[in-house]
Chain A
Amino acid sequence: MRKNLSLVMLILLAISLAALVPLSGCATSAGSKAPTATSVQDQPQYVPVFTDPAKKIAETSGQTFTAELYAQALAYEPLLGKAGSQVSMGYWSAKGNHGSLVRVLDAINEGPATTPPQKAIWDEGATSSNQYPAYDTMLEEHWYERDNPTGGQVTIFGKKYTDPHPVTVAQADQIWGQYSQRYADMAKKIRQATGKPVRVLCFVQGAKANRIFFTYEFPELKTLEQSGDVQVFFAKTQDADPNNPADWTQGSASAPAPVPAQ
């Protein structure tokens, strides 16, 4: 995966600045630093963000969050908003499919320049390695580590913290699900800007019915498909080539059947 030099410089600058700024243990998500540098727990300034789950659920439930994600994507890749660009949005669910999607994202973004330009994004970022700040914040909020407090304390990277807002797994799932739903909604803005329906590429063979793809993302994609904002494709195998139509089925009706939850 290609690292963008300017991004690395920005991260280094942010880490340097963060070392000069004392952080509270109960910070909000605003102004937080991304834990993307190496040896996260060794960064003396690193403090998890204990956002109130109710606040995050409210924040991720509306189109304001979609606009925020879209702006962050454009900051990384202005071509996502250029008239004529062909944008692909990736989705994955179930074991083994994440790597397939990374491969396809890299093939599109790092392939030869084309006219019109082709760009591919996913829920994590504008490329396989440039993460949206909103995604970094989600990681910093440690939603799944906060489900099991002992004496009011949670353990994150081996250190104990007092969490003022305990979280359940169900809340964590809802927060990540809504985040993903808002990511899907970016297709409408991209289509408005580019004038072209977004090509949605899904690696979801073996996906379970009770996980985020089938409970949050797929219903949203069907709506976006009906409005003409996206064209949805499903990889037939994990080796599917984004440039070979024979490797894909088209249309939400051709989605693989979800695996029933046990």
Chain B
Amino acid sequence: MNEQARRAAFELSFANRRAPLDDSSEDEELMRKVLERAPTATREEAADALTRVIHLSADAYSVCDAYRDGKYGQGTPGRKAAVAELSLMDPGFDLPEYEAAFATGLLWTAF
């Protein structure tokens, strides 16, 4: 996995927090942006990074939706359990990224 591409794809989905990515997101535009930010990445590596982040994005939405409905419990223990589940669903990211994805998912699911 190209780390630069993975980080770029993560930022596109979560740092600017506009909306969850999905399979119908503007793939070519996203691909161009990932490659701009990760010039060492091949097109295949950028596509792989995007796929991983799209899955993380969708799962962050689902986990936060369930968290809001009380599936993981309340407060810090519930939050930690939800973040832990997200990390099991989408391996390959680090804890600050899972926490950032979770916080962003809370915003998406607030609406």
Q: Which residues from chain A sit less than 8 Å from chain B, CB to CB?
A: 35-36, 38-41, 92-93, 95-96, 98-99, 102, 124, 139, 142-145, 147-148, 155-158, 169, 172-173, 176-177, 180, 208, 210-213, 261-262
Contacts and interface: CB of A to CB of B under 8 A. Distances in A.
B18 interface: yes
Contacts of A147: 79, 103, 106
B68 interface: yes
B20 A95 contact: yes
Given A39-B37, A212-B110, A262-B70, A157 B15 contact: yes
A145 B15 CA distance: 12
Contacts of A177: 110
Ordered nearest first, which 9 A-B pairs have the shortest CB separation?
A: A262-B69, A144-B106, A144-B103, A145-B103, A158-B96, A98-B19, A40-B15, A212-B111, A93-B111
Nearest to A204: B111
B11 A40 contact: yes
B76 A148 contact: yes
Contact of B16 (A36, A169, A172, A176): A36
A158 B24 contact: no
A176 B109 CA distance: 11
B32 interface: no
Contacts of B108: 98
Nearest to B104: A144
B65 interface: yes
A158 B100 contact: yes
A10 B107 CA distance: 27
B43 interface: no
Nearest to B69: A262
Contact of B110 (A99, A142, A157, A211): A211
A169 B109 CA distance: 12
Nearest to B8: A39
A180 B111 contact: yes
Contact of A155 (B15, B20, B68, B96): B96
8 contacts: A39-B37, A95-B61, A98-B19, A98-B20, A155-B99, A156-B100, A173-B110, A208-B65
B103 to A, nearest CB: 4
Given A35-B15, A172-B110, 19 more contacts: A35-B16, A36-B16, A38-B16, A40-B11, A40-B16, A144-B103, A147-B79, A147-B103, A148-B99, A155-B96, A155-B100, A157-B15, A157-B100, A169-B106, A176-B110, A211-B68, A211-B109, A212-B111, A262-B70
Contacts of B79: 147-148
Contact of B37 (A38, A41, A98, A180): A38
Interface in B35-69: 37, 61-62, 65-66, 68-69
Contacts of A95: 20, 61-62, 65
